[in-house]
Amino acid sequence: MFDNDSNSNNPNKDKFAHLKAIAAGEVPTQQPTPWQHEVNNPLIGTIKGFGEFHHERFGLQRTIIVERENGEVVSAFMNAYIANGMEHHNAQPGDLVLIQLLGKAKSQHGNQYNEFQLYVEKPA
């Protein structure tokens, strides 16, 4: 009923062949380059996805994966403002995004914070 031997001996039938090749180092994978929020260096591109990881000191950290116009794939941290904006705009992979650090600003109470511009554009 099950013919496992024929699948393991025939790489064309092994649905895991590509993943096995990556694990063996035979196929390079493109890992996102970390991107830093900097004034006058906006992140503009197509959303490829979202991620998260647990940082020992800062807890859960959320990221966005973006393919820039030049094809470079980058990963950027999402602070609370950016993460909330992504949720508000229902940002999805395939959407266009602009994330721009505008600089430092002061709240009404005199606290200093990083001011961002966020824009999500749905494909036509």
Report pLDDT for 29.
Answer: 65
Low-confidence ranges of the chain (pLDDT < 70): 1-12, 27-30
Predicted TM-score (pTM) of this structure: 0.72
What the block records as the tokens of 56 is 């020992």
Confirm if 67 and 73 have CB atoms less than 8 A apart.
yes
The correct CATH number of 31-121 out of 2.30.30, 2.40.50, 2.60.40, 3.10.50 is: 2.40.50
Backbone angles phi, psi at 84, to 5 degrees: -65, -40
Per-residue pLDDT tens over the stretch 17-50? 878 887 887 766 667 888 888 999 999 999 999 9
Strand partners, 104: 114
Burial zone of 35 (CB within 10 Å; 0-12 exposed, 13-18 middle, 19+ buried): buried
Domain boundaries for CATH 2.40.50 within the chain:
31-121
Backbone angles phi, psi at 79, to 5 degrees: -75, 180
Strands 96-106 and 112-121: antiparallel
Confirm if 66 and 77 have CB atoms less than 8 A apart.
no
